[in-house]
Structures are given as C-alpha cells and as structure tokens.
Structure 1
Amino acid sequence: MKRIICILSMLLCMAAETVMAARAPVSEATEECLGCHSSIHPGIVEEWQNSRHARITPREALGVTGLARKVSARTVPDYLLPTAVGCAECHTLNAKVHADTFEHNGVSIHLAVSPRDCATCHTEEAVRYSGNLMAHARKNLAANPLYQDLQQQILGRPVRREGKLTFEPPAAETRQSGCFYCHGTRLEVVGMETRDTVLGEMEFPRLSGWPNQGVGRVNTDGSLGSCAACHTRHAFSIEMARKPHTCRECHVGPDVPAYKVYASSKHGNIYAAMNRQWDFSAVPWTVGKDFTAPTCATCHISLVVNTDGQVLARRTHEMSGRLAWRIFGLIYAHPHPMNPDTTRIRNKSGQPLPTDFDGTYAAEYLIDAGEQVRRTETMQAICLGCHSASWVRGHWKRFERTIRETRSDIRAATGIMADIWARGFAKGPDSDDSPFNEAIERTWCDAWLFYANTVRFSAAMAGGGDYSVFADGRYQLSRRIQELNDWLELRNQLFPPTPPIALRGLPEKPYRVQ
C-alpha cells in the first residue's frame, strides 16, 4: 500500500511539473498581482492559470503560421512579447484613455478591460466586432424612442391614479438587470471610494453601470462591447464561445428564441448526444472531424474548414456577415441594416423603424438584393459541408417562404390594430400616444415580438414542426390575430360609426415619446 501511495505521489508531482512547464514566463508586474490575488481571488487566478493566455506568449503566438494562427495583429509591442498575457498586460494597457484608471500599489490600472485593449493582439476581431450590430446594441436600444417606450411599459413601475394605470420609468438598476444586461450599460466614473481590504484601506473608482458584460457596453475608453460577453473572463475560452450555452444567455426567447429552437432541432439533438466527443478548441475548426453538427458559432463566427483543409467560412466577429435577413421582427422581418448604428434609420413616416407599419422597407438603410445573395451563399457554404445542394436549396425555399408568410400575417395584425386606433378604441401613434400601453396593443405586440419571431427562427434553424406550431409559434400567432379581430368586431357592434367613417388605416405621424 505504501508503495502504491508513493507511486501515486510521484505521478502527481510529475503531472504538476508538466502543467507548470506548460505555463509561459510571467512578467514582474503580473507576478506582483498574483502574489496578492491568488489568495484574495483564487477563482480568478486559477481560471487564468488554466487559460491559453497563461500558457503561450505573444511571441510564440505570432510565430504560428497558416489558419491555426489566433493572433490577427501583425505586430505586438516588444515589451509584451516574451511573457504570458496576464493581469498587468490587460489591466494596464492604454491607461491614459481609460477614465477608470487609478493608482493601485504603485501601478496605474483600470478595472474594465475593453475591446480596444484586446485589439493589441486581436486586431481584426476587434475591428470586425465594431462593425457589428451587437457592438451598437446599447445605443440602438437607448437612443430609439420607440424601443425605450416599449422598455418602459415592460420594466416600468405600475402606478394607478384616478382609475388610470401608467408605468413610470424604471430605475437604472432595473434597466441594468433587464434589457441592458445583454445590450450593455454605459460605464462612467462617478467618484472614488475607500474600501477596507485584507491589505488595509485602498481607494477605488466607483463605476455606474458596473458590473456588466453586455455586448454593446460603452467602456471608459469610449470603445463599444465586451469580449467577455462570449469569451468569459478570465479563461477567455474558444471552447466556451463555441458552445451554444454562451449564446443562450441572451438568445433564449421568447423574443429571440434561438437557443430553444436550436435545442429542439436535429442539430441540437446531435450536439446534446455527441458534443463530449468533439474538439471545441481546434483552430481551424474541421467539420466532420472536430464536430459533426453546427453550433451558433459554426454558422455565425468560426473559421470552418473541411477535411481537405479547404475554407468553408472565414472567421468573423461581425455576426450579421453571413445573414441576409434580420428575422427579429421590428415590426416585420427585413434585410439587414447596412450600418450597425440603427438609430439612423427612418421609415417613410419618420419613425425609427426599418419598415413602415404596412411592411414597406426603409430600403435606403438596408442591404440590397445583391448583398443578400452574397451573404446567403456564405452561409450556405457551411451547410454544404454536411448537406447536399438539394437539401440546402429545399431548406432555404421553406425559410424564405416563411418570411413572406409571417410578413403577411403581421400585415394583417397591424392592419386590424390600425383600424382600432382609427376608430379611437385605443390611442396610438396618430394620437401621439404609446402603441404599447393598452392591453389590446400588447396583444398586437405579442404577435410580432414573440410568435412571428418564433416561426421564423424555427424555419431558419430547422427547429422542428412542433416548436414552430404549438410552442410559441403559428398556433399562438393565428390566435392573437383572431383576438385582435374579434376585439374590434365586438366594439364595432357596440359602437357602430354614425355616419360610417372611412378608417384612416396605418399611422403616418412620426413616433414621439411623451
């Protein structure tokens, strides 16, 4: 027994030495950070020590050639080359442009690491991400009065006065734990505070909007986004970013039911059964060898090759680069915006929407048919890595048919809602009122925000008949349209127009928040 224990101890020591040998040398500054934080924040330190950043120096990473190279920068500052990418290497970068930079044990550091910092090594990824809808997610929500109105009706505090119900603006913390959890907050220094730490009293900046890792976070250096939204700190794992659970954090539904649809699809079925056998860290990612069914990253982001080494799709961090359609209905599905800053968009009625209420595209702000074809072909190249051309064509035919059908469905629902507004049974945009603050308007909102979206996501992601029909799909969509119509018909019977009036149809006035 003693001999066995001795042998096991030797093996464990050898394993530990192998792990230590695999780690890259650490800078003096990072060594100093680790000296304290390994006991204060052991979870963070251990996570980093198991990361790729801890094992490989930028000099070694720059030496990798071909598709396996993960550092897209052509050069990296000389002082960063010989050591691991550690605490100091990230939290002291670009100190002069970070408003949250402060003196900590004789070193100028900042709390929130930004895409601009990561761009030191991952230049192309940062540039691509900055041209992505996600990078502008906070502004696209916060600076659109229509979306802000909907947010207030959902998150606001209900107050009933003199028989009238209103929703007061939500608290900042409510917004931050609600919509801006994913869309991102604005980080701003609002002062300094003294904290009693295990090492004595220390001064730290107080940040409003913190903590947050939202995709459109506005950082203290002015950059947009958080790489940790997908590559969670401090492992910054490729594997984590490639698994669908990461995307699930924000895309779970019912407004954007991507994860639920994926989980109920054949692809999700294969992933659930077989993913333990897959290699999620391989770069490039080889279809058929490293994985046998796509995840979110396969279709939208990853560098994917076939078993002959031919590139099926190049790595991108511009998530819409392979998408011809924006299937999240606002109010209708539409071609993707040309510019990721969607606050510029105005439909012909002056509303901040990519379509009119009748479904007409705000075409000057959206990609054209030629770009839609290019993006479709880019996506289909990935599908063709596993499927025949006839299979892929058949899938797209169904998907695009679904887009046409759901646009028609929502046109019918919106036409009924417009008649309700025109008869004065509810107050909407033509009355300079919110289109979301009455129960019947919520019924209309459900039709396009939840159910039409689910039908389209199911068609796009092969999500299965049951999910697209009965699980927040066609059944609920047709029911909401019927409810709208019956609601209007009942009021027309109770309050017939005298004399009959011509309904004004869809609203034409620009939307305005009161």
Structure 2
Amino acid sequence: MNTNGRGRLTRGCWRGGRGGLILWCFLSVLPSAVGAAPHSDATQECLACHVDATPGIVSDWQRSRHAETTPADALQAAPLHRKVSSEEIPQSLQGTSVGCAECHTLNPQDHKDTVEHNGYSMHVVVTPRDCRTCHRQEADQYGENIMAHAYGNLVNNSLYVQLTESINGIQVLESGRLKTAEVHPQTNDDACLSCHGTRVEVQGTVSRETDLGEMDFPVLTGWPNVGVGRLNPDGSKGSCSSCHARHAFSIEVARKPDTCSQCHKGPDVPAYKVYQVSKHGNIYASQKDKWNFRNVPWVVGKDFNAPTCAACHVSLLVDEGGNVVAQRTHRMNDRLPWRIFGLIYSHAHPKNPDTSSIRNAQGLALPTNLDGSPVKEALIDGEEQERRRANLHAVCLGCHSTSWVEGHWDRFQKTLEETNRMTRTATEIMGRAWERGIARGPGSDGNPFDEPMEKLWVEQWLFFANSIRFSSAMMGSDYGVFDNGRWYQSKGLREMMRRLEMGRPGARDDEKP
C-alpha cells in the first residue's frame, strides 16, 4: 500500500507492522507531527519502517529544516536569507521535503554502495556530491578546501605516513630492543583517519533478516566515518556531516565550537582548549543560551556577541543594518593568511589544497625547508595573504576598534616569528643528532619520528609551538605559557641539547625491523 505523501499508511508498514506499530506508523508520518512540508511517497515509506527500526534517526530528521520545508520554498527566500545556493534544483525534488529517499536514493548510478532495498536503489553513504544538488556553492568551495583533501594529504605523504606509523604502530620488546609492528588499517581508521577521513570502499554485500524479510546491505571498509577528507563510494571527497551532524544537518550544531572540538582539541590542534580559556570562550559559555544560532544571516551583536569558530571562519555575517560583514564560505582558509598547525613551521597557506605533491629543497613533501624558509612557489603570495587578513579583520572589527585589532595581529605575527625560531633551534639540534648517528633522519633507512630524541623534536613543533600560536591567535595566552606552551618548549629544547651532548653514534633505543 503506497501513500499519497500526506500521511496514509505505507506498504512497508503493512508488511512489517506488529500490533500497535501500525497505529504508531500512521501517527508518526503525519505532516502535522513533523513539519509543514509534504513528504514524498518514497520518504513516507522509509519513515513507516524506520520510525521503529531507527527511531533516533527519524526523530533527528523530524526536527530538521529538511523536514520542515521544500526546496521550492527555500528558493523563494531573499538572497541573504537563503539556505540553498543552487539556482536550479530538479523539479522532481522541489515540491516535497528533503527526506530519506531524497538523499539516500539520489544519484544511485554514481554510488558503488547502491543496493536494492525494499524496491528502491538505495545507497548508505550520502556525500557532498549528493548535497551539491541544493548546496552547490558550499560543496564546490569545500572541494577546494584543505579539509577535503585531508585523507590524501596524510596517506600520500611518505613523511606523514612515517609519523603515523611511529604513533599507531604496536611496539613489542624483542631481544632487548623495541620494535614497531606494521599498523593495522583499522587502527589508522580509529586514530588519525577518524578526523582526516577514511577510504570507504564496498567489499560486497551481506544478507540480514529484517521485519520485511531478508535484505541485502553493502559491506563497507573504512565505515563508519565522518572525517573531513573521507573518500566516498561515489568518488567525492569529504563529509558534510563532519560539521552538520546527521540527520538534522543543523546550522546550530555547526556554529557551536563544541562541534569543532571533535578534531581541534589538542595537543596538536588545541583550538578548542584555547577557545575555552579565552575571553570569547568565557562569554560563549556564560551567554550562549541567549544567542540565536539558527538565524541566517547571522547578525553580529544581535544573534551573538562573541565569536565562535564558525563566526570567524565560515558563517555569513551581517550587522544590524543588514550590511555584509563577511560572506559565507566553506573554504576554511578564505579568512586565514597563515597555516599555523600540524607542520614543522607556520607558513603562508598552500595554493593547492592537495599538499602531498609539494617538495622542499631536501626533497621532502613539506611546504617549508628544514631551516624554516618557505617553498615559495607552493604558497600564496603576500597580496593574497593580505586579502585574507582583511577578510578576518572585518569579522574582528564587528566588535573591536581598529587599534585593538591591529595590535592583536601584530602580537600574533611576532608569535609566529618566535615559535618558528624556537622550532628552528630544535631542528638544528635534531640535525646534528642525525649527522652523528644518534638517530636516523630523513634520507636514512629509519623513521625520523620514532626514536626518543626525535619524539622530543616532534613535541617541539607539533604540540608546544602549535599551542603557543593558537593561544596568541585566539587570545588564550595562559594556555600558551605553562599548560602546553612556552615552558615546555624551553624545557624540551634543554632536554634535546642534553641528549645531544650525551649521545654517541649508534646509541638508538628504538629500531624498526
């Protein structure tokens, strides 16, 4: 039995109904219960079974904008208030809500994870390419984002692969020496690739018994995952649900810094911890219950009165007169002239979001040389840096005076200079250790990140320098002094120097087979 899209019982419910479930299905799919928008017949059929099979998912979707409006209605909003960026949306999708079927049966021919499911060609993984149907600009911008290339930037860079092996590899004691075993793929999926994104591939299908009888489901490797650079079965990169958690895909969730904390908490990327101890984070924690996180555009001073991650880097911001303060962007570095974390030195942002092809003077896939000098041809120039700085300044000037903003920026750039200089000192010490054979560096047979001296070196830039930079950038200075910053950077340098002075050729504690 099919529905008319307005709440009658579905074929799936009749086939799978158990006693009171039929009445429950009937009540659950009425538009008055889930929003004003009519739902397609296919989505009604999905709801009729999944309200029992996955009630949390259904409830989440019912509270979403997708359930409450149609693409046709969304297109009628004034440009600044519009939440879709595609000028043309297929007519077949415009008249109903964006429901289960509209997402999970879209573009089935492109999805290797498509299976027959209760009469429909259904795919499990919904991708940025699917979301692009209504959100073209956001999807295209995200595809040009370093985040979208996070998987390849990690696994296609042999130097980073060695770093992940030194972290994730199981260490065993053999003949009095530590040896590191090969990393299991699931270990990487559970560690670094949890944020960078996994490669989701179809390995076949499996049959499971359901209320509607036996059904086939795809067997996926690298799943589940919502990493920012996930490689999807349709060939696309990324996951919109990294920030807009499924199935509500809420703007409110994406705008709150708690969402960003999933991957930006530290100690390598301590943005969230720094934000918490900053004055901005203090205001957010104290007053967030009074803010409007759903309004589009986001009005500075009215909807919120201190920045979140999204306010600085992503959201469309206007003043109370409707004047645009910052355009919406899903290229996260559009307002960032400097790249301050994850690498040995801070540097201007790369021109290409795929950074795995960059080579420095030492032949390493790094945007700087080991002495800190930039690989200029791979990085944006000063003019582009200034444009991006002006974009971010505009956000700051929504609440602060010019002298405040410029003073803060001058201090931040001094921090970049000093942390790079301290990192250079650590790298010079490390270089001497490699020369003397105390450890095996780049170009040798060993892993340049796995020995005790090398781990101290990694901490210098991956933990301590990053913490100092974030603390300076986000006005959380206390975190950058004693917690994980300047104190430990200076202490670590002394320890590295002590090991260099005591070291001798061949005095390695770790060896990889």
Instruction: Answer whether TM exceeds 0.5 for this pair.
Output: yes
Counterpart-to-counterpart distance in 2, 1:109 and 1:204: 10
Structure 1 residue 21: deviation in Å? Answer: 7.9
Cα distance in 1 for residues equivalent to 2:94 and 2:505: 78
3-state SS in 1 of match to 2:503: helix
Q: For residues 302 and 344 of structure 1, what CA distance do their matches in structure 2 show?
A: 31
Distance across 2 between alignment mates of 1:266 and 1:91: 43
Tell me which residue corresponds to 1:480: 492
| 1:467 paired residue number | 479
Aligned position for 2:7: none
> How many Å separate the matches in 2 of 1:106 and 1:459?
57
Q: Does 1:263 align with 2:257?
A: no
For 1:201 and 1:437, the matched residues in 2 are separated by 50
- For the residue of structure 1 that corresponds to 2:116, the secondary structure is strand
Q: Which of 280, 289, 292 is residue 276 of structure 1 equivalent to?
A: 289
**Matched-pair contact (CA < 8 Å) for 2:268–2:342:** no
1:49-198 alignment runs, 5 A limit:
49-198=62-211
Corresponding residue to 1:310 among 301, 320, 323: 323
Partner Cα separation in structure 1 for residue 438 and residue 199 of structure 2: 39
Aligned twin of 1:245: 258
**Matching residue's letter, 1:396:** W
* Cα root mean square deviation, aligned: 1.8
Distance of 2:277 and 2:181 partners within structure 1:
38
User: What is the one-letter code of the residue matched to 1:303?
Assistant: L
Q: Distance in 2 between matches of 1:38 and 1:52?
A: 18
For structure 2, which runs of at least 5 residues remain unmatched after alignment?
1-28
**Residues 279-290 of structure 1: pairs in structure 2 closer than 5 A:** 279-290=292-303
Residues in 2 aligned to 1:272 and 1:424: alpha-carbon distance in whole angstroms: 51
Q: Report the Cα distance in structure 2 between the residues aligned to 1:38 and 1:21, rounded to whole angstroms.
A: 12
Q: Which amino acid in the other structure matches residue 259 of structure 1? A: Y
**Does structure 1 retain, via aligned residues, the 8 Å contact 2:438–2:506?**
no
1:389-429 per-position Cα deviation (integer Å, ceiling 9, x unaligned): 00000000100000000000000010011111111122212
Q: Which residue of 1 aligns with 2:55?
A: 42
| Residue in structure 1 matched with residue 452 of structure 2 by the alignment | 439
Contact 1:416 1:485 (C-alpha < 8 Å) held by counterparts: yes
CA–CA distance in structure 2, aligned partners of residues 142 and 492 of structure 1: 34
In 2 relative to 1, CA 494–66 (structure 1 residues): closer, same or farther, beyond 3 Å? closer
Instruction: Give the count of matched residue pairs.
Output: 481
In 1, the alpha carbon distance for the partners of 2:192 and 2:219 equals: 22
Judged with a 3 Å threshold, the aligned counterparts in structure 2 of structure 1 residues 494 and 214 are, in CA distance, closer, same or farther, namely closer
Q: Distance in 2 between matches of 1:337 and 1:205?
A: 37
CA deviation after TM superposition for structure 1 residue 360, in Å: 1.1
Kindly provide the CA deviation profile for residues 38-97 of structure 1, in whole angstroms up to 9, marking residues without a partner as x: 111111011101100000000000111120011100011011011000000001111101
Decide whether the 8 Å contact of 2:436 with 2:505 is kept in 1: no
Alignment CA distance shift 1:18-1:491 (3 Å): closer
Deviation at residue 170 of structure 1 after TM alignment: 1.6
1:351 to 364, 367, 381: 364
What CA distance in whole angstroms lies between the structure 2 residues aligned with 1:29 and 1:401? 58
Q: Which runs of 4+ in 1 moved over 4 A?
A: 16-19, 492-495
| TM-score, normalised with respect to structure 1 | 0.91
Q: Which residue of the partner structure matches residue 390 of structure 1?
A: 403
**Counterpart check, 1:421 vs 2:417:** no
SS of residue matched to 2:356: helix
Q: Where does residue 314 of structure 2 map in the other structure?
A: 301
**C-alpha displacement at 1:196, in angstroms?**
1.8
TM-score, normalised on structure 2?
Answer: 0.91
Measured in 1, the distance between the counterparts of 2:300 and 2:315 equals 11
Identical-residue share of aligned pairs (%): 55
2:380 to 355, 367, 375: 367
Deviation at 1:338, TM superposition (A): 0.4
Query: Structure 1 pair 494/423, CA: closer, same or farther in 2 (3 Å)?
Result: closer
1:309-349 deviation digits (Å, cap 9, x = unpaired): 11110000000111000001521111001000001111011
Partners of 1:470 and 1:252 in 2: how far apart? Answer: 17
Cα distance in 2, alignment partners of residues 494 and 479 from structure 1? 25
Residues 182-239 of structure 1: per-residue CA shift (max 9 Å, x gap): 1111111101111122332211110111111110001111000000100011100000
For residues 357 and 48 of structure 2, the distance between their equivalents in structure 1, rounded to whole angstroms, comes to 49
Pairing of 1:221-240 with structure 2 (within 5 A): 221-240=234-253
3-state secondary structure, aligned to 1:186? coil
- State the partner residue of 1:455: 468
